[in-house]
Amino acid sequence: MRKILWLILIAAAVYSGYWFVGARGTERAITGWISQRQSAGWQADYTSVQTDGFPLRFDTLISDLSLADPKSGVAYETPRLEIRSASYAPTALSAVFASGSTFATPYQRVDITHDRADADLFVDAGPNLTLNVTAFTLDNAAITSTLGWGMTLSHGAFSTIRSAQNPLSHTIDFSAHYLVPSEGLMSTLNTDGLLSDRFENLEIALTATFDAPWDIHALEERRPQPTRIDIDTIAAQWGKLDLQIAGAVDIDARGVASGKIALKARNWRDMIDMATAAGLIPADMQSLAIRAGQVLAGLKGNADTIDAELTLTEGMIVLGFIPIGPAPNFSIR
């Protein structure tokens, strides 16, 4: 019996030593990474890094974190960020984000408040921390931009799974429910009163292939750039507007896409008016987009619904030989 007791005490002491070494190692890894970013010219600040959770968890709290990448111009600030992992499974991570965080780009600053924002991350063991699976959830969020737009969101979910066949490909799913634009944004977009006060549903399911892995270097250096996107579905419903998209595009080093997209849009004229009001379609191309839409709708005999295949080429969206408007650029800053 005494031997068993000694074995238990020794095992407890060894495990306690493992936990404390792991906890201090976690803190040193985080503070060391922030110091490296400072040496690389980033703005990188924090007030404290502390790990708790003994004996089964490593729960690390980073207080007053501020990061800004001078190359991309992207910055992030949060009063607290908590990173959690089980002490016996350190490659399965959870992140809990504080309400009151801020994202900034060279063009705008976006403030985010929420009731809940957390993410689960599964990464490869090793220094690169290559991403395998992510699952991000956002509840009761309010988003406000310095450009004057804003919105609230009842629930949003985002997930990715890395392909076993191609480690540079990720299956991506996104859903948003009951997204409510701010009054100013609604007055800009809803000039004809077709839209309800909330965006009922947005569903996205696609597979994206990149030119490099999503790992720690994607945060420290250049972001992996998409080389191909296979769209299973993009479906959006907002009042009387209904949009469905599927297809596949290849993307070059400039972020310019080429490929074919199947498009079905109900009340398409109002979509063009809304996109023009939002600046997505240049005002001098609105009439051309409407004429192209009339041609598309005429193919199926329903003046209010477009059901056609579009071509993306050289930065333009084209129907046959008719340019409809500029295609989005897929470069990631």
Mean pLDDT of the 53-62 span: 87
- 95-153 tens-digit pLDDT: 999 988 999 999 899 999 999 999 999 999 888 889 999 999 999 999 999 988 888 99
Q: How confident is the model at residue 208 (pLDDT cuts 50, 70, 90)?
A: very high
- 270-319 tens-digit pLDDT: 777 777 766 667 777 778 777 777 777 766 666 777 777 889 998 888 87
Q: Amino acid identity, residue 218?
A: A
On whether the CB atoms of residues 287 and 299 are closer than 8 A, the answer is no
Cα–Cα distance, 142 to 182 (Å, whole number): 10
Mean pLDDT over each residue of the chain, to the nearest integer: 85
CB atoms inside a 10 Å sphere around CB 157: 14
> What pLDDT is recorded for position 198?
72
Q: How confident is the model at residue 163 (pLDDT cuts 50, 70, 90)?
A: very high
Q: How confident is the model at residue 3 (pLDDT cuts 50, 70, 90)?
A: low
- 183-204 tens-digit pLDDT: 766 666 665 665 666 777 889 9
Q: Which of 206, 209, 145 is nearest to 175 (CA)?
A: 206
Give me the DSSP letters along 41-68: T-EEE-SEEEEE-TTTEEEEEEEEEEEE
CA dist 91 to 62, 101, 122, 160, 224, Å? 19, 25, 6, 16, 22
